[in-house]
Amino acid sequence: MAVDAEVDSALVSLRMEDGRTEEDCAWAEMPADVWSAVAPWRSFRWHAGQKHYSGTYWCATNHDHVIYESRLELARLIYADFDRGVRKIVAQPFLLKAQIDGAWCRHVPDYLLIPTAGEAPLVVDVKPSHLSPIDYTRRRHLDYSQLLPREAWLRICAEALTLPGISQRHRHARRFLFHLLTGSDPASAPSAYAIAGAPDRAAYATFVLDLTPELLQQLRHHGDEFLHRSGIADEPLTWEPPASAIALPADDDKVLDLDLLHALVRSGDLTTSAAAERLGTTVDHVRRVLEQSPAPAGPLPPKAPWSAHLRMAQARESLPADRLQQLYITERKSIKIIAAFSGFPKRVISALLTEAGIPIRAGRPPIAADPDWVAQQYLVHRRPFAEIAAELGVSAGALYSLAREVGIPSRPRGSASQAAQLAVTSENASKTVAGDQ
At residue 312, the pLDDT reads 74
Query: pLDDT tens-digit profile of 360-375?
Result: 887 656 677 788 888 8
The better pLDDT of the pair 245, 89 is held by: 89
Residue 95 has pLDDT above 70, yes or no: yes
Confidence of residue 437 (pLDDT cuts 50, 70, 90): low
Confidence of residue 433 (pLDDT cuts 50, 70, 90): very low
Domain residues of the chain, as ranges? 5-124, 136-229, 247-292, 304-355, 371-436
- Directed axis angle between helix 150-160 and helix 304-318, to 10°? 90
Of 5, 45, 9, 49, nearest in space to 29 by CA: 9
CA–CA separation, 261 vs 267, rounded Å?
10
Q: What is the C-alpha R_g of the chain?
A: 37
Query: pLDDT tens-digit profile of 380-393?
Result: 888 888 888 888 87
Mean pLDDT (whole number) for 396-413: 81
Tell me what percent of the residues of the chain surpass a pLDDT of 90.
19
Mean pLDDT (whole number) for 109-130: 83
pTM: 0.48
Q: What SS3 class is residue 21?
A: strand
Mean pLDDT (whole number) for 269-280: 78
At residue 356, the pLDDT reads 84
Confidence of residue 8 (pLDDT cuts 50, 70, 90): confident
Mean pLDDT (whole number) for 338-348: 86
